[in-house]
Amino acid sequence: MREVVGVIPAGGHATRIAPLPCSKEVYPVGFRAMGKGEVRPKVVCHYLLEKMRRAGIVKAYIILRDGKWDIPGYFGDGSLVDMHLAYLIRGLPFGPPYTVDQAYAFVQDAVVAFGFPDILFQPDDAFIRLLGRQASSGADVVLGMFPAEYPHRVDLVDRDEHGRVRRLVFNASQSELTYSWCIAVWTPRFTHFLHTFLSTGGGVAGTKSELTMGEAFQAAIEAQLHVEAFPVSDTPYLDIGTPGDLVRAVRRFATEQ
């Protein structure tokens, strides 16, 4: 059995909700209990790390851009979430796949659990479900599916009756597809594919400024990698990188507390 390692890209600029007093990954949303009735603020990325830890993942790499030192300043060595955390600095600024690939030398032989640090989702055992699906199917990539609340701005998943992804549909104004994805697990085969794909010019290739993770998965599908999608929730996720979802998240978690 291979080690499972978390990989979290945190190299963005949060332009859609700028200006913020901190990196959006450590923006307070909700509270955490400290015992004896005491509570303290809980930041966005804490929720993702908790779900990884629940799946038995004890090591994660957070990839930063220069200047986002408040993230390691907040989480430190990871004891706050009972994990071992390491921090890498983003290289090429061409989108999340390039940010993720910065961890290549450290995770090339591991199973990777991937999530966005500014997205909130349920259930708590989502990564357990994905890892179980990958173990049973042997897929190179398993995407965690969620209902698409805003189909026109997400990657819609088209899969067959066995769960294998035929294609991802990007920014569709009209589509019969109703599910998107926001988390994933993958094997070393995809890690090596992504590294080669990016290093040989298969990424932005001068056609656009950034590549998305969805486009990287689509490239893997076209290269005949086994990519599956597995439903993990009946509830849409919240992307706090957008103003509307940030307001909704703050209200929801304050109410739940």
pLDDT tens digits for 101-116?
999 999 999 999 999 9
Listed residue (65, 63, 59, 64) closest to 78, CA to CA: 59
Residue 93 binned pLDDT confidence (cut-offs 50, 70, 90): confident
Which uninterrupted H or E stretch holds 216? Answer: helix 213-222
Structural domains of the chain in order of their starting residue, each with its CATH number? 4-256 (3.90.550.10)
- pLDDT surpassing 70 at residue 207: no
Report, as an integer, the average pLDDT of 2-19: 91
Residues 6+ apart with CB under 8 A from 222: none
How far is residue 39's CA from residue 30's CA, in Å, rounded to a whole number? 10
b/e map of 139-157 (b: 16 or more CB within 10 Å)? bbbbbbbbebeebeebbbb
- pLDDT surpassing 70 at residue 12: yes
Query: 181-197, pLDDT tens digit by residue?
Result: 999 999 999 999 999 99
> Does residue 19 have a cis peptide bond before it, meaning omega lies within 30 degrees of 0?
yes
- pLDDT surpassing 80 at residue 100: yes
- Token digits of residue 113: 């659990």
Report, as an integer, the average pLDDT of 74-85: 97
**CA neighbours closer than 13 Å in the CB half-sphere of residue 256:** 12
Percent of the chain with pLDDT over 90: 76
Task: Report the pLDDT value the prediction gives residue 155, as an integer from 0 to 100.
Answer: 95
Residue 157, helix vs strand vs coil: strand
Contact 227, 138 (CB under 8 A): no
